[in-house]
Amino acid sequence: MVMEPNPAYDKVTTIPEFNPSGSELVTHIKALTEEIIHFIEKEVPNNRRRSIALTNYEQAAMWAVKACFP
């Protein structure tokens, strides 16, 4: 299952269009990351812990993408 980035999100953190490999897996990882980040920004109160959670999701996505290319 391939997920396309959602253009409805106000802010994009994973730069979905940056995928030089054209990998569907990278596209999927980035789309899922945007989805969870968007959910947290919408539903979780804005505080330091939320900021830490968002940073860690972004970092997890970065490492997951890097792991696709050993």
Measured torsion, CA atoms of residues 44, 48, 46, 66, in degrees rounded to the nearest 10: -60
pLDDT of residue 20: 92
- The band of 52, judged by pLDDT with boundaries at 50, 70 and 90, is very high
Q: Which residue has the higher pLDDT, 10 or 66?
A: 66
Q: How far apart are CA 41 and CA 20, in angstroms?
A: 28
Taking only the tens place, the pLDDT of each residue in 5-40 is: 555 556 778 888 899 999 999 999 999 999 999 999
pTM: predicted TM-score of the whole model, two decimal places: 0.80
pLDDT of residue 31: 93
pLDDT of residue 37: 94
Domain boundaries, the chain: 31-39+46-70
